[in-house]
Structure 1
Amino acid sequence: MLLALLAALSLTPQPSEPFDSETRIEDAIAVVRPVAYRSRQVDWDALAEDMRHRVEGARDDVDMLPAWAALAHGLGDGHSFVQPTSEAVAAWRERYGDRPLMPDAPPRPRPSSRFMKRAEIEAHALTLGADHDAELITVPSVTGFGEKAAAYASRLFGAVADAGPRTCGYVLDLRGNTGGNIWPMLIGLSGLLGDGPQGRSEEADGLVEDYAALSEGSAVVLVEQGRGLTMMAIDNWRSIPSLAESPVALLLDDATASSGEGVAVAFAGRPLTRTFGIPTYGIASSNEGYPLADGTNVVVTTAMMMDRNGRTYPQGITPDQIVDDEGEDPVDVARAWLALQPDCK
């Protein structure tokens, strides 16, 4: 009889532990709160309550995705976001179709730029006068590291270094550059920037540091995590000291964003440099990914990009000279400015 009773009990479904969404929320906040740039401006109690409300009755990790989206959105920096695993995305769609993780979140503003699909580095001469040209170089976005990024940096450096003998200045077209990996861009433009520290940023605690230094066609890490590591290097670098003294015009628009803005920040305060166009998108900040226990990557804005004069740009970069595409052509306005510079007269 006892054996029969035990056998029956073993076949009876036992109650499972309830899914603990509260602990997951607490753990996620513990990961993000110490590193978020705007942490001091966030009402963390209210944000935690909003996260709880969005996942009330959650059964598993898939149901937690709205909480992670709310966490990134609630940081208020406009640049943080979540990257769920592909498996979690597929499971969410199977369960909820195309329902957004945060249906009530206002959509991010869409840039009006017509240049966002540009993918290739292009260069051609602009005539400034009888004896001088300016080199107009399109600087599109680039992502990742590896061979593709290094090839981009090499092509960009070549576009600068191999300009014709009449070249007295440069127009760098950053319109439509939505960002990605800033280092191929900076290495490619290192002739104009000169060697030295780059990637300066200010963290939430006020710490200011330069992430890496440009050195003879390479980017070498300066911060403790990886100090001395060469992130990327190009083979076609050569020293052309006169480039660092050339006048440079940068073209900006409302799709110049993130690392695209970072390039403009790197040139801010450089002598003989002027910006033209319309204000940039407004996310001139540095992001880092922080994985949660379920594999979701919360990409958090941890610092603001800072120029060589210690200025940050939380609202984006307003050009020195506003030029709307509907009126004058920014290229023509930049060319006219370059024609007035001493080296180009």
Structure 2
Amino acid sequence: MRVKLCLLFFVFASYSFASCSAERKPPSPAVQEYLEEVVRIMQANFVHRATINWVAFKQNMLAQASGAQTIEQAYPAVEFAIGALGDKHTQFYSARPVKGPEKLPAKQPPLYPDEPVAEDIGYIRIPWVVGSKEQLDAYITQVQAHIKARDKPALKGWIVDLRGNMGGNMWPMLVGAGPILGEDTLGYCIDANNTKTAWRYEKGKAFADGDIQAETATYYTLKSANPVVAVLTDTLTASSGEAVAVAFKARKHTRSFGAVTCGVSTSRSRFYLSDGSVLLLTTEVFADRRLVRYGHSLPPDESLRPAEVVPRAIHWIREEYKAKN
């Protein structure tokens, strides 16, 4: 995708107040210039910029960097300021790692197994995905192939399982789920200027304001259009996974089951800083096809314990199918 908490802001403010009486050595001119660069980017692009007192924010950030003489010594001040934004999705990747305990290599999040369902129910899991264009193309092909293999005229409806989808690239996910989502405007990204970027699926292509973001030449069309759909979510459904959940919001004959999502239903933009560090800054919130904005956790229509989710979804699909037909 373009593609930390309120408590941290309280800690930030408290630190500033508690330390105001102590004598502070100002950071070096190079550090001050670097931190001003960071604040300029945040102030111009952060999706919730109107909620921040930027004068106080900059003063507190410089105070946190008191005595810093090198850019590396200023990195903790950047991290601390990101926490003060009150945003869970923004991240900072320093060009030169700060010395500290050796970290273990990052592990890929797990891929959940498919759920067994009855013969009259279609089932598709939409997992997280990252990777090269070839890997993303293969992902789309696999998801739509699974839909094709499980599709039949007698289906009462579909379960779309987003549990464990921790994000990655939303566009292959939307193309993969496209046969079930249907050809329509699916949602929006909305920035701090209220500029809207529309998502759309049509004939194997996912668009952002008319520009193709992902596609497959061999797209599939369901045997029965506009099916009943049950969407499953949990607390690990995050970021791009939440984008897919948003895409199903306000769709006819659709209901969600499970647990509240992670709470990062937002889009990030990548900014390269002058030292080569990268700031992934939250610049947009997701909105559904009705233009209802999110940017927070998505509660399911029915909150359920894990063992109850699939049986309840199947029961609802059958009842909704009867009502629909």
Q: Of 300, 305, 314, which aligns to 1:335? A: 314
The corresponding residue for 1:27 is 37
Query: Which blocks of at least 5 consecutive residues in structure 1 are unaligned?
Result: 1-17, 101-115
Alignment of 1:209-228 (within 5 A): 209-210=197-198, 212-222=199-209, 228=211
TM-score, normalised via structure 1 length: 0.78
The corresponding residue for 1:234 is 216
Q: Which runs of 4+ in 1 moved over 6 A?
A: none
Q: Of 47, 50, 56, which aligns to 2:60? A: 50
Distance 1:221 1:334 in 2: 31
Q: Is the 8 A contact 2:90 2:282 kept in 1?
A: yes
Q: Which amino acid aligns with 1:330?
A: V
Give, in angstroms, the shift of residue 241 of structure 1.
Answer: 6.7
The corresponding residue for 1:107 is none
Distance 2:112 2:50 in 1: 38
Q: Does 1:271 align with 2:264?
A: no
Q: Of 142, 149, 162, which aligns to 1:162? A: 149
Number of aligned pairs? 291
Q: Is the 8 A contact 1:145 1:181 kept in 2?
A: no
Alignment of 1:249-268 (within 5 A): 249-268=230-249
Q: Does 1:312 align with 2:299?
A: no
Distance 2:158 2:140 in 1: 17
Q: Does 1:171 align with 2:171?
A: no
The corresponding residue for 2:264 is 283
Tell me which moved more, 146-155 or 45-54: 45-54
Q: Of 64, 68, 76, which aligns to 2:78? A: 68
Instruction: State the secondary structure of the residue aligned to 1:136.
Output: strand
Q: Does 1:137 align with 2:124?
A: yes
Q: Which amino acid aligns with 2:297?
A: G
Give, in angstroms, the shift of residue 30 of structure 1.
Answer: 1.1
Go from structure 1 to structure 2 and tell me whether the alpha carbon gap of 1:144 and 1:71 turns closer, same or farther (over 3 Å shift). Answer: farther
Instruction: State the secondary structure of the residue aligned to 1:33.
Output: helix
Q: Which amino acid aligns with 2:46?
A: A
Distance 1:275 1:159 in 2: 21
The corresponding residue for 1:117 is 110
Go from structure 1 to structure 2 and tell me whether the alpha carbon gap of 1:279 and 1:238 turns closer, same or farther (over 3 Å shift). Answer: closer
Q: Does 1:186 align with 2:196?
A: no
Q: Which amino acid aligns with 1:180?
A: G
The corresponding residue for 1:12 is none
TM-score, normalised via structure 2 length: 0.82
Give, in angstroms, the shift of residue 164 of structure 1.
Answer: 4.2
Query: Which blocks of at least 5 consecutive residues in structure 2 are unaligned?
Result: 1-27, 104-108
Q: Is the 8 A contact 2:187 2:289 kept in 1?
A: no
Go from structure 1 to structure 2 and tell me whether the alpha carbon gap of 1:338 and 1:196 turns closer, same or farther (over 3 Å shift). Answer: closer
Give, in angstroms, the shift of residue 199 of structure 1.
Answer: 4.8
Distance 1:221 1:275 in 2: 25
The corresponding residue for 2:189 is 201
Go from structure 1 to structure 2 and tell me whether the alpha carbon gap of 1:161 and 1:99 turns closer, same or farther (over 3 Å shift). Answer: closer
Q: Percent identity?
A: 27
Distance 2:42 2:34 in 1: 12
Distance 1:37 1:175 in 2: 27
Q: Which has the larger radius of gyration?
A: 1
Q: Structure 1, residues 15-69: CA drift from partner, whole Å, max 9, x if none?
A: xxx6521111112211221110111111222222222123222222211211221
Distance 1:312 1:139 in 2: 23
Instruction: State the secondary structure of the residue aligned to 1:304.
Output: strand
Q: Of 291, 297, 301, which aligns to 2:282? A: 301
Q: Structure 1, residues 184-208: CA drift from partner, whole Å, max 9, x if none?
A: 1100011112224345122112222
Distance 2:183 2:81 in 1: 39
